[in-house]
Each structure stands twice: as structure tokens, then as C-alpha cells.
Amino acid sequence: MKITLIHPPYNLIQEAYGSKTRIKKGNLIPLGIAYLAAVLEKQHKIQVIDASAESLTNKDIIESIKIFKPELIGISATNALAKSTHNLASSIKKNLNIPILVGGPYPTSYPEKVLMDGNIDFIVQEEAEQIIDLFIESLKTKNFKNVPNLGYKENNKIILNQIKEPQKDLDELPIPAFHYFKLKNYAPLPNQYKNKPSINLITSRGCPYRKCAFCFNAGQKGQLYRRLSPERAIEIIRLLVNKYKIKEITFWDDNFLINIEWIRRFCSLIRGLKITWTCYGRVDTVSEEMLRLVSENGCWSIFYGIESGNQDLLDKLNKGIKLEQIEKTISLTHKYGIETRGSFMLAIPGETKEKAIKTIKFAIELDLDYAQFLPTYPEYGTKLYEVALKEGKLNENYYGRKKAAYIPDGYKNAEEIEKMINLAYKKFYFRPKYILKTLKKIKSIDDIKKYAEGLWFMIGMSS
């Protein structure tokens, strides 16, 4: 069968990061599609269209589909891509009569809402590698009831099949099918990579903590925690280095720096490969040994979820970390020459403007190399979602990041939150100490270009 897999149109820089600037950075390989393509290509002919990374319109997509002539279309969507997904499904169905299947965090969160769209025929909740072949088989018999994770319509009634336990051993999954993607379309945001070409990977699924009140992975739809073995992770990295000439990897695991045994083995294996990398971490799972090991083996930047400079708000979020722990880990990370990045949430329930200013000051005092300030978005299925829903203060149809979709008591309206975010970016980035520190990092013409692009991006974020 011929199958087209689509990542729908989306202006990432403007919608997700809220920057007015137009830069061609930030798009990452949609790994969900890459994994599915790797499973499907064993028996089927696959076309992959990443409309987001290639800035394609629905018209462009339909033209490509008409040439390829698929018998099934699969769309990958997060909640942020909801509007784009429904528009795309409508455009496709106006032009072509092909079944449409939607997968990803969006149908996982809102299966009924997605299926209420007459243009969408099927949805898959949660992970799809284990069930996709069975689904394609079922298209022949039209008997869908034995396909786990599937949602469909029968006599105008929505049917949601039971959810299967996810793949326990991630090593059994095929290597993501990177060959369907034009690597030149993908790069982290400016200043978030040192070497090109760079690619995103993920060595684990789910989170072992599942406590934070705001995180999708800790909510009702959160996945079981599993991780590739260090050997399998290195097999994938070796392929990326040797075949695709990749020079840098961003590991997007919710928490890469966990389990010292895993890190020891991974570092001993990555040592022989010429590659730099960055990752995400929690301040309370990082140890001095871990930081020493990763810094000696290619890691030059760690992104920490810091969230707030107010202990009471961190406690409300059930983050399970202390301000002192944050300070200690950030300075320890600097000690090993690793750049620190921090992600902060503003407009947390219970946050006043004074508390927001305290968070901004905290970010500055930590002397982070980069900080990101986002308005709180209560994801479906999380504890925060329940709170926001009860308060009646969530606009679920708004999914951008600059304008707030949730307005806690401490703020009058979305504009006030937007102003606070602009202020945070201005205060953090446009201060002499930070500018001087950044200027000192410039070592080449390439660095000048990167930092100029970063500055442009930041001006777009703070205006």
C-alpha cells in the first residue's frame, strides 16, 4: 500500500515561541513519523511531508499527494497542531477521497473531539508502532474492533478501542527512518547548537517521576518510563555520524541525566565518536560524577526545567525541587564548563506580578546562559488542567505561547501576562553583563552569524 505521513503546516517560530522574527530555525525531525515510517516501509511505500519544516501550504501538500497517489494518509498532531490538522483534513477531503488517520498527542488527549470532524476517519491514541500493521490489515476487512489504540466511527457512533501496553523494550523498535527527511531543513534555535548538521533524538519515552502538575507525561495520558540501552542508542548515533555526517545531537528526553549506570556506559561508548551534544535534565537527578562524565564526553549544554523562583509555586506545581538545589546544580554545571539553559513558567496558579518579578530576578542571579519564559498552559489530563477547568479560566482553543490561554487570579487578562513575558526577555537578555558574556563567546564568523540571528529572534520575542 502507498501511505503518506504528514506533519501539518505550522509556523513554529511565531506560534510556538511567540517571536515576530522570521528565521528558519527551530524545526526538528518529527520522530513519531520517523519511527512509524521505519515500521511501515518494510511492507509499504512511504511518502513523508513535513509541511511545518518546509513551509508548505495545504495546496502544496495536495499537489504532492496527487503525484504520489496514496491509499492512506496519516497526520501527526500535538494539541498545538489541532487547527492546522482539521484544516488540512478538510482540504484533502475536498480534493481526494482517501482515508485519513490522525495520531500523536492531540488525538491521545482528545480522541472524541478529533473524530467528531467528519473529514477524519481514524485516530490512534498513544504509541503506534505495535498496532499500525494490524490497522492496515483491518482496512481490507473493515473489521476494526481488534485493533488496540484505534478510534473510529461506526453508524455515526464513536468507538475507542482499548489501549495496549506500550512497547516495553525500546531496543526492539527499528531505527527511525531519517532518510525521508531533508536534513538541511532541521536545526535547533540559534545559540542552541555548536556544530552543524545537528539532529534531535530521544533515548527514552515517558518520565519515571510522573509528579509535576503541569506535565503531559505526568498526567492521565502519561506514558510508562522506558529507555533504549546505551548500546542501542550508540548504534543509532553511529549511523547518524557515519551515514548522515551529523556533528551534534540534541537529546529531547524529558530527563536525559538520570541513572548514573546508564550515563557511565553511554559516556564510555560515545567517547570514540566525533560528536557534541546537549540534553535536558532535572536539577535533583544530576550528580557531580554525571556532570564530569558528560562534560568530558561531548556534552556542552544542559537545559533545566526550573519553572519558578518562588518555592511556594514550585511546591504547588509538585515539582519536587528546592531553590537551593537549583542554585547548587547550576553552579556545579558551570564548574564543569557546561552551558546552562533554564525554562521558566509564568502565570502559574497563585502567581502575582511580584512573584513573577522574583522569578525573573532568580533567572538573572543564576547567571544562566539562556532562559526561556513561557505562559503556563494546562495540558489535557494534568492536575493543572483540572484546576484551570474548575476555575473556568482556560481557553482551550488558544494554543500559542505568547498570548496566555490560562489567566490566574494574579493577572487581569492575557495582555498583562504577555507584558510580563516581554519584560522577562528584556530584563534577562538586554543587560550589560549578559551582553558582555555573550560577546566573549564569539570565536568565529559563524559565531557572529549565530549570535546575530539569536539576537534577532530575542528582539522578536520581547516586542
Note the residues at the interface with ligand B12 (CB under 6 A): 10, 12, 16, 28, 30-33, 35-36, 52, 74-76, 78-81, 101, 103-106, 109, 124, 127-129, 200, 202, 215-217, 252, 254, 374, 379-380, 401
Cell of 118: 467528519
Where helices occur in 253-322 by DSSP H, the ranges are 260-270, 288-296, 311-316
Phi and psi for 160 in degrees, rounded to 5? -115, 115
Which letter does DSSP use for residue 370 in this model? E
Beta strand 204-205 with 226-227 is: antiparallel
CB of 357 to ligand B12, least distance (A): 22
CB 347 within 8 A of CB 355: no
Cell of 86: 482539521
CB of 16 to ligand B12, least distance (A): 3
Query: What distances in angstroms separate CA 332 from CA 169, 297, 300, 302, 425, one per listed residue?
Result: 34, 17, 13, 12, 25
- How many CB atoms are located within 10 Å of the residue 463 CB? 11
Q: Among residues 252 and 456, whose Cβ is nearest to ligand B12? A: 252
Task: Count CA atoms closer than 13 A to 217's CA, side-chain side.
Answer: 15
- How many CB atoms are located within 10 Å of the residue 211 CB? 13
- How many CB atoms are located within 10 Å of the residue 114 CB? 26
What are the helix and strand counts (H, E) for the chain? 17, 15
Packed helices 288-296 and 323-335: angle between N→C axes, nearest 10 degrees: 30
User: What CA–CA distance (Å, rounded) separates 361 from 376?
Assistant: 19
Name every residue whose Cβ is closer than 8 Å to that of residue 318 and which is 6 or more positions away in sequence: 211, 212, 213, 383
CB of 267 to ligand B12, least distance (A): 22
Q: Among residues 332 and 374, whose Cβ is nearest to ligand B12? A: 374
Q: Among residues 190 and 332, whose Cβ is nearest to ligand B12? A: 190
Q: Among residues 244 and 252, whose Cβ is nearest to ligand B12? A: 252
CB of 216 to ligand B12, least distance (A): 3
Q: Among residues 332 and 396, whose Cβ is nearest to ligand B12? A: 396
Which letter does DSSP use for residue 403 in this model? S
Cell of 350: 497563585
CB of 448 to ligand B12, least distance (A): 25
CB of 444 to ligand B12, least distance (A): 26
CB of 396 to ligand B12, least distance (A): 11
Query: Which residue of this chain has its Cβ atom nearest to ligand B12 in the complex?
Result: 103
Identify any residues that bridge with 50 across adjacent strands, giving them in sequence order.
7
3-state SS assignment for residue 72: strand
Q: Among residues 332 and 394, whose Cβ is nearest to ligand B12? A: 394
CB of 3 to ligand B12, least distance (A): 9
CB of 234 to ligand B12, least distance (A): 19
Q: Among residues 332 and 421, whose Cβ is nearest to ligand B12? A: 421
